[in-house]
Amino acid sequence: MTRTTAILPVKRFGSAKQRLVDAMTDGTRRAMAEAMVTDVLIALRRAKEVDEVLVVTGEPAAEALAAGYDASAIVDDPDDAGHNVAALRGIEAAVDRGATRVVLVPGDCPALDPRQLDALLARHHEGVVVVPDRHGTGTNALVLTPPDVVEPAFGPGSRDRHEELARAAGASVAVVEVPTLGLDVDTLDDLEALRGALDELHGGASHTRGMLARVARK
């Protein structure tokens, strides 16, 4: 029987979204990061194919969010050792708790539709599944069955890197586009792309929508 754990690495909100520093105050940037993580958490809890959600973080506010949405917090290095280190800690914790499959999801894809995630997980039950970003070069989500089939290697160019790692491990690999998982936010262009997508979507991302409206009024 498959037991699927979603792993959500979350860096400290105060250090998140540094490429938006010229467009937002520190307080607004922090609030935006928290809003996006909240919306991702809500989507993950609504996904029927996800049995458990682990939030790996050194951010106290994210630990509180996890508790509020029936997720478990795995305390990470408060100095933010990096996304891949946090992802590995999450995988280790998930395996210890009985996971046979993990899906690694970023905290800055607030448009995530749980139905799209369910469809992805229902179709793929082995090896490595790479969900690329909207540019087609990065990795926004990673499905690993079993959880230790490869080590996560997020960062620039990670789509190709994850494909190469899967082949080297002798595992099957699929690249699957998931529209609402392709919209991560690092730059102002990303933020505008997200805004446009949310205008076309019905429901979801209520916290991020509120923050976008607040930013637009300034």
Q: Name the residue among 190, 127, 130, 187 with its Cα closest to residue 161.
A: 130
Residue-wise pLDDT for 111-152, tens only, equals: 999 999 999 999 999 999 999 999 999 999 999 999 999 999
Q: How far apart, in whole angstroms, are the C-alpha atoms of residue 103 and residue 160? A: 18
Is residue 214 over pLDDT 90?
no
Q: Max Cα separation, the chain?
A: 52
Cβ proximity of 30 and 60 under 8 Å: no
pTM of the model: 0.94
Token pair recorded at residue 80 = 């933010």
Cβ proximity of 174 and 181 under 8 Å: no
Q: In this structure, how many other beta carbons lie within 10 angstroms of the beta carbon of residue 12?
A: 18
Pairing relationship of beta strands 72-75 and 127-132 according to DSSP bridges: unpaired
Residue-wise pLDDT for 23-51, tens only, equals: 788 898 899 999 999 999 999 999 999 99
If you average pLDDT over every residue of the chain, what do you get?
93
Residue-wise pLDDT for 151-204, tens only, equals: 999 999 999 999 999 999 999 999 999 999 999 998 888 888 999 999 888 889
Q: How far apart, in whole angstroms, are the C-alpha atoms of residue 50 and residue 72? A: 13
